Structure 1
Amino acid sequence: MQFQFENSFDVKEKIDSSSIAILPIGAVEAHGPHLPLGTDNLLAERLSTELAKRVNGFVLPTLPYGQVWSLRNFPGSINISNHSLINFIVDIGDSLYKQGFKTFAMVNGHLGNGTALKEAARVLFEKCPELRVFYFFYPGMNKAVAKVRETDAAHGTYFHACEIETSYMLYLAPEYVDMERAITDIPTIPISADVTPTPWEEFTSTAVLGDAKLATKEKGKYVIDIALDNMVKIIKRLSE
């Protein structure tokens, strides 16, 4: 169910029946020559839609901007602060709580949002104690990715416009992928990037962290389906 297309006369009864709100959260940032700036928004939106079908939830309008400090200097990137993102999410969660929702699930399409989402969830935990809050970022993906990846990861945590994220797009939003422009760029990321602020232009000029040419729809489906199953199980188990 798409929340923004409901009307005020009917929505209260539907909230009482469902009580699950799902918020896609993405970002606008560089994703190489073969993926659009809104890749993270598309992935969050389409994953949220599939999740809503399985848990009978509402999909809220996408929150399309994220914390993209590391890529903020690349053409097309739009960065907002963690502080702004936290406040925005807390306000949304508080409104949902007052409307009668019992579960607020954030489906995140951008790794850089993780710190803000976790902090917002903690604030809501104190402010709205009866609201169950989740912050999902492809739960279970690491083990699944290890089974389909053909190249070593450029970094232990980061994946971006690479074999994996491009595979996600080929599965969830293939019409926005231009595989003829996919490239291979496996940068050497210094260990210092894990312990001090490091703009990505210091180690990549493309924002691609891997071999996008190896992406396939099948790889994307394998990982996404596992992540989706995990989200459904978590929501159903903890929202009862």
Structure 2
Amino acid sequence: MKFELENSVEVKDKIRSFRAAILPIGAVEAHGPHLPLGTDNLLATRLADKLAERTESFVLPPFSYGQVWSLRNFPGSINVSNEALIRLLADIGESLYQQGFRIFIMLNGHLGNAVALKEVARMLYERVPELKVFYFFYPGTKEITAQVREASAAHSTYMHADEIETSYMLYLADEYVDMTKAIDGAPQIPIEADFTPTPWEEMTSSAVLGNATLATREKGETIIERSLEVMSEIVLRAKSSL
């Protein structure tokens, strides 16, 4: 299922068989003292592998950099502009279509990429309308997340190095989690943060937006498996219509 491990002699027929390619997309940014800078990359890649198994899809080499404007001033964060992301990912999608793929799944592990990925999908809709493009960021998890979380969400949209994202890591990549360093981030998010650019150092000194000490593998598994069910259903339905 790993596209980069195929050879050029055999891959053509496999593309015609699988028809779908999954691109894990993440970021390099601060995730507090208990999680690595590449948390979003690890989550996207591990999740892509699971989705590929359920849908007989190829997993492309991950795209490991994202738009991290909000956290760009934290040590270790590497920021890429939306404009750069859009152009590169649109080119990848068009190239995949030329190779014979008909479904392109951008599996996103970083919320900051959402605007760019939606624009990529729109561009490809115009350029190559026969290519079905999906941009996934843990779909179908809102209700189940509300059921399993113990602490209130720090923000209605943001989920970062907190109880939930740390639980994802404990399920998908626990070898990179140090729960002895987990903290309760308790950010101070002003109401205007939703309406004007607000660097996160104005809200938190740790980059942890919540209580990471409450994270468990079981919570992560419950939420992730639900999201996999939703994504698998969507992808398989798309494949059946080809």
Category of TM-score, reference length = shorter chain: over 0.9
Quote how far apart the aligned CAs of 1:188 are: 2.0
After TM superposition, give the deviation of residue 144 of structure 1 in Å. 1.1
Q: Over residues 116-163 of structure 1, what are the superposed CA-to-partner deviations in whole Å (9 max), with x where a residue is unaligned?
A: 000000000000110000000000111111010001000000010000
Deviations 1:38-96 (A, max 9, x none): 00000000000000001100000000000000000000000000000001110100000
Q: Which residue of 1 aligns with 2:172?
A: 172
The residue number in structure 2 matching 1:77 is: 77
Match of 1:41 in 2: 41
- State TM-score, norm by structure 1: 0.99
Quote how far apart the aligned CAs of 1:237 are.
1.8
2: CA distance between counterparts of 1:92 and 1:171? 30
TM-score, length-scaled by structure 2: 0.98
CA shift, 1:185, in A, is 1.2
How does 1:140-219 map onto structure 2 within 5 Å?
140-219=140-219
Deviation at 1:31, TM superposition (A): 0.1
Name the amino acid aligned to 2:170. Answer: L
Q: Which stretches of structure 1, 4 residues or more, deviate above 4 A after TM superposition? A: none
Q: In structure 2, the residue corresponding to 1:185 is in which secondary structure? A: coil
Instruction: Calculate the aligned-residue CA RMSD, in Å.
Output: 0.5
State the alpha-carbon separation in 2 of the partners of residues 20 and 14 from structure 1: 10
What is the aligned length? 240
1:8 aligned counterpart, secondary structure: coil
Mind listing any 5+ residue stretches in structure 2 that lack a counterpart? none
Identity rate, percent: 66
Letter in 2 for 1:18: F
Residue in 2 that maps onto 1:101: 101
The 2-side partners of 1:237 and 1:53 are apart by 15
In 2, Cα distance between equivalents of 1:161 and 1:141: 17
Distance, in Å, in 2 between the alignment partners of 1:37 and 1:144 is 27
Counterparts of 2:181 and 2:170, CA distance in 1? 14
| Partner in structure 1 of residue 225 of structure 2 | 225
After superposition, where does 1:2-41 map in structure 2 within 5 Å? 2-41=2-41
2:78 counterpart letter in structure 1: I
